[in-house]
Structure 1
Amino acid sequence: MAATRVCLFALVGAVAFLFFLDGAAEARTVGTSSAQRRRQVRSLLRRLNMPPLATIESPDGDIIGCVHILKQPAFDHSLLKSHTIQMMPSCHPEGLSNKSNIASNPFTQTWHQNGKCPENTIPIRRTKEEDVLRESSIERYGKKWPWSIPNRFSIDDPDAVNVLRGHQHAIASAPEDGNYYGTQATFNLWEPIVERDEGFSLAQFWISSGSYPNNDLNTIEAGWQVYPGLYKDSHTRLFIYWTRDAYNNTGCYNLLCPGFIQTSNEIAIGGSNSYLSPVSTYGGSQYDITILVWKDPKEGNWWLQVGGHDLGYWPTSIFSKLVGSAASVEWGGEVASSPDAGQTSTQMGSGHFPKEGFSKASYVKNIQLVDSTNNLKSPSHVNLLAKWPNCYNVQNGTSADWGTYIFYGGPGKNPNCQ
């Protein structure tokens, strides 16, 4: 009997020792993984936070690095190593005008209170370690996740089922003639409520060519968004995005990867210093901002202008399908939430339906297309898409003052939203 107890104790001890070894091995694995992750983060930060020629501390706590224009992240792109920077567009589209009778948004940023970046530098918000560590994947930092991919093909396409989970639109699209060289639109500014940090709400336009199923979708995107997971707050911010392979490996928000070349020393794209203020109020004062992207007819680069400021460009060499013209252009609102969260109460636009009209619903107005002669023209008509109209909807119209326009948006989850 004593021998049996001794054997039993020995067996229990051996099992406990094995569990100890497994636990120690797991701890070493976790420790190694954590150390490796931090090394990857530091490597990314060295690339994003280029040595500045001057530093400005914003009253909101951000640090702005004034980086030499030739040292910006864009030139890390393998296709831009020998690129000669284009300091200004060769020309602007014909027909530029601002017919808005709404208060223009004064395009200033918080950090301007404490200084200005010198000539031949660009302002870049310094990325912090905690910004990157919030992401579950360092490789995906600053990129769109598969479930947040915009609609670049028919929403009824069976290939779109997994892509569009947790993702809803209320948009207008240009006629399908595949010969577009840019677009301009004026976006009503709001600060919608976003239900969860990993979700977002935005208003933007998409300039695109290629397709998602073929993994050769090229897009240029610009607008405003509320995205707590990326910016750590719920402010409305200017953003840009691009991809050349259907969001798989290329492209990112703002300047978080090589690609977009900034030329302006005045505006920091993205980051907590760049929120747009003031925003519109329901039934009260309305504010908007005009954004233009067009293909330079001489150099072929896709230039970005915001509020009358030329900010920089996407070089044509980083694209495969947008080397020439774009096949499609779309404008409107988009919300995204976790694909497993069910119907979301994230607001789109003002959070009210289009039928409520001016000062209550959100609008995109003076919608124009750039044609092959570098002229801005109103589209002959637009097609509307709102898969869940009882959640988010879109309506269109035309007028002498507003040209082609849409009202769009909605509250999301409500008794009629199924």
Structure 2
Amino acid sequence: MGTVVCSCYAPLLLGFLLALLLQTLEVESRTLNYTSYRKVSSLRLQRIQRHLDNINKPSVLTIESPDGDLIDCVHKRKQAALDHPLLKNHKMQKAPTNMPRGMKVKREEKEKEWQMWHKNGTRCPRGTIPIRRSRVHDVLRAKSLFHFGKKQPRFSLTRRSDSDAGNGHEHAIAYTGSTEEVYGAKATINVWEPSIQVVNEFSLSQIWILSGSFDGSDLNSIEAGWQVSPELYGDSRPRLFTYWTSDSYEATGCYNLLCAGFVQTNGGIAIGAAISPISSYDANQYDITILIWKDPKVGNWWMSFGDGTLVGYWPEELFTHLGRHATMVEWGGEVVNTRANGQHTSTQMGSGHFAGDGFGKASYFRNLEIVDTDNTLSSVHNILTLAQNTNCYDIHSSYSNQWGTYFYYGGPGNNPHCP
């Protein structure tokens, strides 16, 4: 026989739970870098908790990572992606109909321990996917609940070539022309742990798949790579990430699985989890390989990691322009420069060293490739490069038989020539 609780105790119970949550939050804030405790209203906590309940789906197993992350093993068909209103009638795709010519498919990445949560030897059960759990302090580091997990709008190529770009985003990138018909891109990306000056700055290295207008509100973008973002993750570790938007970063899309959209199919890769090991100056170098391409029959944009390990896909229904094809691809680094204390940030891009320092010192992208109209992966020979302020961050591209088209990029940010 069940226990009946008088409804008159509900307010007392709610008050107790909120007090316990605040106490837990205060304890967590003392143990996590970049998190400062401040008083939070019970109403705001309730809104945050409702949001977290929507994105943190019930798990069949929770794995505690050595870095403090909680990885929830969630049934594939229970993931938040399928809550998106545009995906009500979406049929989950188990695998792409075709890989780009020359690629082989591995279903899972089992033999390598390249994420921190892999190190305790536990894996998610078959039929589930690993999802990094979001917690209250993660949301509180964001500007607001609306901004949690979102990027700020970026300027067009023309406007952001100005070193005084008003939104503070600075880039060192290689890119294709804006009139091409592109169906995917690939690169191998060197992984480092750049220093971040303040909590709401970040440093990332990624691939952008783009279509639409840079100056309007209809830009479609699919993105993946690694990033260091204290605001988003609460630490300074480089992490695998994804992003998407269909309206120039205004209201749609998010990082990783922090909103409905990206459909994960892989049971061994946690998007948003820390990458390990990472490169060291003038020592061992480590990199990751990412391929994003449009399924030629179904139309979904798939992502693979390493040697063809499928991660998941962005459904075609999410996009307008990318529902057809991309018109531009970008590869490279991005930082946020908030000009704290009236100076250029000292947040590093890549390794924190300029392109001219070369292998083992500067960060690199190698083997740049695109997918063409025939679903063929081919090396990119004609690329353009852009760095807004070469005294802060720069880029230098080249070609070799071993690395194909490649470039070194990055820099320290603030220095005597970058005040």
Asked if these proteins are the same fold (TM beyond 0.5), I'd say yes
| Contact 1:223–1:239 (8 Å) recurs in 2 | yes
> Which amino acid in 2 is paired with 1:276?
I
8 Å contact from structure 1 (residues 198, 337) kept in 2? no
How far residue 384 of structure 1 moved from its aligned partner, in angstroms, is 0.9
Q: Which residue does the alignment assign to 1:43?
A: 50
Could you tell me how far 1:166 is from its partner in structure 2?
2.0
TM-score (norm 2): 0.85
Residue 250 of structure 1: aligned partner: 252
Q: In structure 2, give the amino acid aligned to 1:316.
A: E
Whether contact under 8 Å (1:175, 1:380) holds in the other structure is no
- Return the alpha-carbon distance in structure 2 between the equivalents of residues 39 and 80 of structure 1: 27
Is 1:80 aligned to residue 79 of structure 2?
Answer: no
- Aligned ranges for residues 35-184 of structure 1 at < 5 Å? 35-96=42-103, 106-111=113-118, 113-146=120-153, 149=154, 151-155=155-159, 164-184=166-186
- Matched to 1:323, the amino acid is G
2:383 aligned partner:
382
1:77 CA displacement? 0.5
- Report the equivalent of 1:5: none
1:380 partner letter: H
Change (3 A) 1:258 1:40: same
Q: Secondary structure at the match of 2:289?
A: strand
Residue identity matched to 1:281 = S
CA distance in 2, matches of 1:238, 1:59: 17
Structure 1 residues 4-403: aligned runs within 5 Å:
34-96=41-103, 106-111=113-118, 113-146=120-153, 149=154, 151-155=155-159, 164-270=166-272, 274-308=273-307, 309-338=309-338, 342-403=343-404
Cα distance, 1:285–1:156 mapped onto 2, change above 3 Å: closer
Structure 2 Cα separation of the partners of residues 50 and 413 of structure 1: 42
CA distance in 2 between partners of 1:136 and 1:377 (Å): 41
Task: Map Cα deviations across residues 171-191 of structure 1 (whole Å, 9 max, x no partner).
Answer: 111133330000000001111
CA distance in 2, matches of 1:79, 1:112: 37
Query: Which position in structure 2 is the counterpart of 1:412?
Result: 413
SS in 2 for 1:84: coil
Take 1:107 and 1:299, find their aligned partners in 2: how far apart are those partners?
31
**How far off is 1:300 after superposition?**
0.6
CA distance in 2 between counterparts of 1:43 and 1:157 reads 41
SS of structure 2 residue aligned to 1:204:
strand
Aligned residues: 373
User: Could you tell me which amino acid in structure 1 is paired with residue 294 of structure 2?
Assistant: K
Mark the CA change 1:105 to 1:225 in structure 2 (over 3 Å): closer, same or farther. farther
Which residue type is aligned with residue 61 of structure 1? Answer: G
- Give ranges in structure 1 of 5+ residues lacking alignment: 1-32, 98-103
Deviates most, 109-118 or 47-56: 109-118
1:339 positional shift: 5.6
How many angstroms apart in 2 are the aligned matches of 1:267 and 1:153? 33
In our comparison, the structure showing a higher alpha carbon Rg is 1
How far is 1:116 from its partner?
Answer: 1.4
Contact 2:94 2:265 in 1 (8 A): yes
Shift of the 46–191 alpha-carbon distance from structure 1 to 2, 3 Å rule, reads same
Distance 1:250 1:401 in 2: 39
Q: Contact 2:156 / 2:215 at 8 angstroms: preserved in 1? A: no
- Give distance in 2, aligned partners of 1:105 and 1:404: 27
The one-letter code matched in structure 2 to 1:126 is R
Report the CA distance shift for 1:194/1:156 in structure 2 as closer, same or farther (over 3 A).
closer
Q: d(CA) in 2 for partners of 1:399 and 1:196?
A: 38
Structure 2: 5+ residue stretches without partners: 1-39, 105-110
CA contact (8 A) 2:170 2:337 kept: no
8 Å CA contact 1:364–1:406 kept in 2: the answer is yes
| Cα distance in 1 between the residues matched to 2:161 and 2:334 | 18
d(CA) in 2 for partners of 1:105, 1:213? 42
Q: Give the RMSD, CA atoms, in angstroms.
A: 2.1
TM-score (norm 1): 0.85
- Which consecutive segments of 4 or more residues in structure 1 shift more than 4 A? none
Report if the CA contact (8 A) 1:109-1:267 is conserved: no
Query: Which piece of structure 1 moves more, 323-332 or 46-55?
Result: 46-55
Partner SS, residue 170 of structure 1: strand
| Larger mean Cα displacement after TM superposition, 406-415 or 51-60 | 51-60
Q: Distance in 1 between matches of 2:219 and 2:156?
A: 8
